Amino acid sequence: MRQELIDLSKEWPALFNNQPNKVDEIYKDIKNILGTITKNSNHQDYIKIKATKGLANIPYAPWIGARDVRLADKQSEGYSLVYLYSVDLKRVYLSIAFGTGQFIEVFKPKKEAYQKMRKAASRIQKVFENDLNIQNLILDPIDLAASPKEFRQEGYEQSAIFSLSYEINNLPDDTKLFEDYKKMLDFYVDIFESPLTPSIDSLVNAVADPLRLEDTKVKIKDFEYRSPKKTKGKKTNNKKIKAKKRRSDRSAFIGRKGEKIVFDFEKEKLKKINLNNLSEKVRWHAELNEKPGYDITSFDDKGDEIFIEVKSSSGKTINDVDLTKNEIMSMFNKKTKEKFYIYLVTNALTKPEIEVIKNPSERLKDIANFNKILNLFEKMQGDFNLDLVTLNLDFRK
């Protein structure tokens, strides 16, 4: 293991500069070694070893991770045990860390995201402060010699919770490296299995600043049709970008924030028009463990029930929404469709705004892919199985 870690630091510059290299071979050897340690540790059924050279771009430094796949299968959404090299390839850290993606998505600018990561790491450290029986464990941010252009490594520096540091030119022998990895692997699994360990969603939610009083005055407006986006320069993989965005917008903490904003808004709206008795009857269905096909039952200014599906984002706009079978059925149901609304909540963690789509089964018929929803509606009334359908709001016919 010692020699492989040294060789990887020597071969990486050649890979980064698109020159002949032995990185694949070294990665394979390291994965085999770590796999053997995992097998001997009785964690082989749920620990996955991954060594990456990047998808679109080669990282500035090597990365070899182990993760528990019993819950999250996305690197950005869970905890990992990972070897992280510094950009100058002089050091390698063995760290238990959380994914940075959701912090970067939610908190802007990156400087604030990094501060929130350290706050989150401290929360985990406090939970396990009585279990730290590994010598020389680092609780501070690690030093990957990253500059702003190496933003991934900058994020990794801050997301490290517990770490061991090694100098490449002074690595311990294999016996010590194996012993350290085994201890850190066991510790990682203990953290994962502990009921006290929060999900990444919960971590982000916990370190988010509460809405200031001046930001709680929610702005509301009618839905405005979006024009097709114009792309310049290099083509991007829109499918991957939208999938990533939808994962972020569906994350539990942002969704719950959006629903809470709408719930409070509707109650206050009714109070302002002297319908205090109805204000007390507004229902937030998720809080009551109910799944009627919409999130909020409220009332209009005439006192009639309305049914609100909430779609939330931490960003400034929502250009597509995911609709479940229950939501689509409610949208087209003769008893509810004229009183069915979609509330688009943007800036859900900062200065929330609501964009209202009333009776989307009629209002959105000129959206390019709405026919897909219409066609699926007939099938859904039978035993048609469907998880999600995405409705793009940013393209007209």
Q: Per-residue pLDDT for 57 more than 60?
A: yes
Average pLDDT, the chain: 86
pLDDT value, residue 316: 81
Considering only residues 182 and 243, tell me which one the structure prediction assigns the higher pLDDT: 182
Reported as a pLDDT band with limits 50, 70 and 90, residue 384 is low
Judged by DSSP in three states, 98 sits in strand
Amino acid sitting at position 74: K
pLDDT value, residue 74: 55
pLDDT value, residue 207: 87
Percentage of the chain beyond pLDDT 70 is: 86
Q: Per-residue pLDDT for 26 more than 50?
A: yes
pLDDT digits (tens, 9 = 90+) for 127-180: 999 888 899 999 999 999 999 888 889 999 999 999 999 999 999 999 999 999
Work out the average pLDDT over 203-211. Answer: 76
Q: Per-residue pLDDT for 305 more than 50?
A: yes
φ, ψ of residue 357 in degrees (nearest 5): -110, 110
Q: Where are the domains of the chain?
A: 2-207, 213-392
Q: Per-residue pLDDT for 350 more than 90?
A: no
> What is the sign, positive or negative, of the torsion defined by CA atoms of 102, 104, 106, 111?
positive
Measured in whole angstroms, how far is the alpha carbon of residue 299 from the centre of its chain? 33
Q: Per-residue pLDDT for 393 more than 90?
A: no
Residues 6+ positions from 295 with CB-CB distance below 8 Å: 259, 262, 284, 285, 286, 308, 309, 310
pLDDT value, residue 128: 94
pLDDT value, residue 369: 78
Among the residue ranges 12-16, 109-113, 307-311, the one predicted with the least confidence is: 109-113
pTM: 0.66
8 A C-beta contact, residue 67 and residue 78: yes
Reported as a pLDDT band with limits 50, 70 and 90, residue 373 is confident
> What is the sign, positive or negative, of the torsion defined by CA atoms of 93, 98, 100, 103?
negative
In the 3-class helix/strand/coil scheme, how is 233-269 assigned residue by residue?
A: CCCCCHHHHHHHHHHHHHCHHHHHHHHHHHHHHHHHH
Pull the structure tokens for residue 304: 């009639």
Among the residue ranges 92-106, 234-248, 359-373, the one predicted with the least confidence is: 234-248
Work out the average pLDDT over 215-234. Answer: 68
Pull the structure tokens for residue 353: 């705004």
Q: Per-residue pLDDT for 272 more than 90?
A: yes
pLDDT value, residue 242: 40
> What is the sign, positive or negative, of the torsion defined by CA atoms of 209, 215, 221, 226?
negative
Reported as a pLDDT band with limits 50, 70 and 90, residue 212 is low
pLDDT value, residue 195: 87
pLDDT value, residue 269: 95
Work out the average pLDDT over 303-316. Answer: 91
71: left (phi over 0), alpha (psi -120 to 50) or beta: alpha
Q: Per-residue pLDDT for 392 more than 90?
A: no
Reported as a pLDDT band with limits 50, 70 and 90, residue 244 is very low
Other beta carbons within 10 angstroms of residue 198's beta carbon come to 16
Work out the average pLDDT over 13-32. Answer: 95
Considering only residues 236 and 261, tell me which one the structure prediction assigns the higher pLDDT: 261
Q: Per-residue pLDDT for 396 more than 50?
A: no
